[in-house]
Amino acid sequence: PGIEIKLLDKDSTIIKSIVSFESDSHEGSYLFSDLEPGKYFIKAILPEKFSFVDVINVDESINSDINPETGLSNPIILEPGENNIDIDIGLKYSFGEIESFVWLDRDYNGIQDSNEVAISGIEMILQDADSTLEISRNKSDSSGLVLFENVLPGKYRLLVDSLDRKYKITYFENSMDKSLDCDFKAEGDKISSSIFEIYPGEINKDIDLGMTYNFGTLSGFVWNDKDSNGIYDTGEELLEDIEIEIYDINESTGNPVSSTFSGVNGNYEFTGLKSSVYFIKFNGNSRYKLGPGEGIDNYISNQNGLGTTDSIFIDWGQDIDNVNGALISNKCIVGDLVWLDDNGNGLKDSLELGVDGVHVDLYNTQDSLIQSTVSGEGGEYYMDGIEAGNYYLKFTCDSIYKFTIPKLNEDNGSKVIGAGFIGKTNGFLLEPGSQNLDLDAGLLVNFSSIGDFVWLDTNKNGTVDGEEKGLDSIKLELVNMQSNLTRTVFSDENGYYHFDSLEAGNYYLKLPDINDTLDFANNIGSKTDFTGMNGTNTTSTFYINPGTEYDDFDIGLVLKTATIGDRVWLDANENGIQDTNENGLNNIQVILFDINGIEYDRTTTSKIEGQDGQYHFEVDPGYYFIRFILPFEYNSTIGKQGSEDLDSD
């Protein structure tokens, strides 16, 4: 229904017009009635999206009677009373067509060039733009053509939902000429054209797909593997201007597919690689040569010839990186370790640690300094870029260290013969491009010690004299003021003591258990002057230098003195006891003798603290006796008549 139909007379003048309608028998019925006999034409007004079907001269009751070219029927002659209901009008949708071209964009410019070829086998999907329903799908033929016929007028898009990985989409709409550009672009995991419209009877040849090879890449870097371990270690130099070639296993010419030179940071890259099996060849130069072989970071295995890698498969569009090459300098290298030899055996044992900050100097046989370095964290040191020749190394460590015993013939032994904190290796020969990484130096902590003698200073002069003897079992404590640690020793049977394995630093000595019978001798100004600066029975602070033996820390002790006294009095009642009213006598001479009868001291009684007749002697512990020199008018009174503190002795 809804098709406008006109009735024309014999002069082609429109005399009636009607719109087809739905009747009981047909949906597209029309009827012109009450017509005079005569000659007529039927003209159909073709709506959008439709066209006339062809006239086929078959059964007049069922065929279309409208000429597709003119839209008119043949002349219709109506006789009086005649009814002609066989003038039918056949319409059809006016289908469009899509012809999409798929081509290989060799130069990747997004434009169909004359020398570029078609790609077959690429499947496209025709999708309704509004409903996203799939209408149909077809593949490109040998000429690259994807054909969609009988397409209803409407809005559509073309999709490619899977693409061989050897291809990738070229540039989108990169030309003003729509017939030559690529009308597809990647959207997520799909490749889609923009939305386009098909008009009735249209043949659209402008929705084309350009693809280029999805080439692979291979890249890596080249470095100077100083320690020849095949591992790119921090600080190792990245090498510029090293030639690198790439070969295709499947090409029999023997020539590289491409070659390049490493850049400023040692990097190189090969692009535009088709799917195949390749290998890389690293070429040394006058400054660098091939390293010793594979490692974690070094891909040089020599599998395909000197300086080559293993064979590497690259698929279409695959990017492979870190195919690295380790070279070593044609110059010589020396190294590599300074360590603390805890057990002093001259060998580097597993738990012993490196020592940093040790100066290492390289000298030639003319004693000219060639190069210097300092051992780093972990004790490692390296010197490179050395010309071939004969050399020796000199090590200079801090004075807190000294060199361990040399083990010149052991792989992990110390190769340094030391004197104090300076040590040297024997001479060694460096061949061109060689390396000697066994020039290790073992160190010991340069401990100090102090001692050494505790004696009884009988004449109290602060000096060990002739027959003066050592004191045993005297407890001595040495306190480290940095760590606050205390070490304890006892003097031996001859009076000697010793503190060893001492690190440099500030210390003081303490004798904590001096008893009531001993005291410190006159040590004023000496190292063992017990000044009490750091507490009771302590010395002042003193500094111990590294690697020094102090054997002059001698300690003189004396016996504490005793007192003998006390009074000479006039015993008026002659009872031998000092009574309260009896007076002391002054100016009485008193002489002290030792056990051998030798005079030890003498004095005269006098008034002391308000008491007459007082006397006393300060003496060393021992046996003594006293003689009183009495004036002629006095005699001694009777003795031992009362208590010790009041009687006459």
State both tokens at 606. Answer: 């006098």
DSSP string across 603-625: EE-EEETTEEEEEEEEE-SS-EE
Give the pLDDT confidence of 590-600 residue by residue, as tens digits: 999 999 999 99
Q: Domains of the chain (ranges plus CATH)?
A: 1-94 (2.60.40.10), 96-213 (2.60.40.10), 216-329 (2.60.40.10), 334-444 (2.60.40.10), 448-559 (2.60.40.10), 562-629 (2.60.40.10)
Query: Can you read off the two tokens belonging to residue 556?
Result: 């003189």
pLDDT interval class at 527 (50, 70, 90):
low
Could you tell me where the DSSP H helices lie in 568-609? Answer: none
| Residues linked to residue 102 through DSSP beta bridges, in sequence order | 209
Q: Are 282 and 226 within 8 A, CB to CB?
A: no
The 10 Å Cβ neighbour count of residue 197 is 12
Cis amide leading into 452 (omega within 30): yes
**For 355-404, how does the pLDDT look when each residue is reduced to its tens digit (9 = 90+)?**
999 999 999 999 999 999 999 999 999 998 898 899 999 999 988 888 99
Give the C-alpha separation, 310 to 300, whole Å.
7
List of residues 6+ apart from 217 with CB closer than 8 A: 269, 270, 271, 273, 319, 320, 321
In the prediction, which pLDDT does 293 show? 66
Residue 174 DSSP SS3: coil
Rounded-to-integer distance, Cα 244 and Cα 259, Å: 6
Q: Which amino acid is at 281?
A: K
Rg (CA), the chain: 60
> Would you state the structure tokens that stand for residue 45, as one six-digit string?
């007004």
The least confident of 3-7, 287-291, 348-352, 635-639 is 287-291
Q: Is 524 exposed, middle or buried (0-12, 13-18, 19+ CB in 10 A)?
A: exposed
* 485 in Cβ contact with 502 (< 8 Å): no
Burial of 203: CB neighbours in 10 Å, binned 0-12, 13-18, 19+: exposed
Is the pLDDT at 21 greater than 90? The verdict is no
Neighbouring C-alpha atoms within 13 Å toward the C-beta of 229: 7
Token pair in block for residue 605: 């009684």
Structure-block tokens of residue 555? 């300690």
- The pLDDT tens digits of the residues spanning 403-420 come to 999 999 998 999 999 866
What is the C-alpha to C-alpha distance for residues 633 and 70, in angstroms, rounded to an integer?
189
What CA–CA distance (Å, rounded) separates 238 from 241?
10
Nearest to 574 by CA among 648, 633, 629: 648
For range 558-569, the mean pLDDT: 86
Q: What is the pLDDT of residue 571?
A: 84
536-to-482, 509, 514, 556 alpha-carbon distances in Å: 20, 11, 10, 17
The pair of three-digit structure tokens given for residue 473, joined into one six-digit string? 């079992």
Determine the Cα–Cα distance for residues 471 and 635; give it in Å rounded to an integer.
Answer: 47
Whether pLDDT at 524 is above 70:
no
**Which range in 61-70, 79-88, 521-530 is most confidently predicted, on average pLDDT?**
79-88
What is the percent of the chain with per-residue pLDDT over 70, rounded to a whole number? Answer: 98
Ramachandran sector of residue 182 (left: φ over 0; alpha: ψ -120 to 50; beta: rest): beta
pLDDT greater than 60 at residue 495: yes
Kindly report, residue by residue over 127-186, the tens digit of the pLDDT.
999 888 999 999 999 999 999 998 988 999 999 988 888 888 888 888 788 889 999 998
HEC letters along 98-156: EEEEEEECCCCCCECCCCCCECCCCEEEEEECCCCCEEEEEECCCCCEEEEEEECCEEE
Pairing of strands 209-213, 422-424: unpaired
Amino acid type, 452: D
Q: What is the pLDDT of residue 438?
A: 94
What residue has token string 């010197």? 383
**Three-class DSSP category at 310:** coil
Give tens-digit pLDDT for 252-268.
888 999 999 999 999 99
Amino acid 56: pLDDT: 80
The answer, yes or no, to whether the previous bond of 519 is cis (omega within 30 of 0) is: no
Please say whether the beta carbons of 347 and 441 come within 8 A.
no
Q: Tokens standing for 534? A: 């750091």
Read off the tokens for 564: 């003998």
**In this prediction, what percent of the chain has a pLDDT beyond 90?**
51
CA 361: distance to chain centroid?
30
Q: β-strands 243-248, 267-273: how paired?
A: unpaired
Closest alpha carbon to 458 in 331, 579, 561: 561
**Going by DSSP bridges, is the β-strand pair 417-419/38-44 parallel, antiparallel, or unpaired?**
unpaired
154 compared with 64, residue with greater pLDDT: 154
Which range has the worst mean pLDDT, 32-46, 57-71, 117-131, 273-287? 57-71
State the average pLDDT for the chain: 89
State yes or no: pLDDT of 525 exceeds 70.
no
The number of helices, as runs of H, and strands, as runs of E, in the chain is 0, 53
Q: Which two tokens stand for residue 97?
A: 């067509």
Distance CA 616, CA 569 (A): 15
pLDDT of residue 447: 86
pLDDT at 496 over 80: yes
Arithmetic mean of pLDDT, 65-69: 86
As a whole number of angstroms, the distance between CA 335 and CA 348 comes to 15
Residue 384 corresponds to which tokens in the numbers above? 């490179």
CB 554 within 8 A of CB 532: no
pTM of the model: 0.40
> Would you state the pLDDT for residue 522?
66
pLDDT at 640: 81
Residue entry with tokens 């989409």: 169
Beta strands in 404-440 (DSSP E): 417-419, 422-424, 428-430, 435-436
pLDDT tier at 501, thresholds 50, 70, 90: confident
Nearest residue to 154 (alpha-carbon basis) of 174, 129, 172, 176:
129
Amino acid, single-letter form, for residue 645: D
pLDDT in tens, 301-338: 999 999 999 999 999 889 999 999 999 877 888 998 99
The residue whose two tokens read 């219709």 is: 76
Handedness of CA 343, 346, 351, 355 (dihedral sign): positive
Spell out the residues 6+ positions from residue 1 whose beta carbon is closer than 8 angstroms to its own: 19, 20, 21, 22, 27, 28, 29
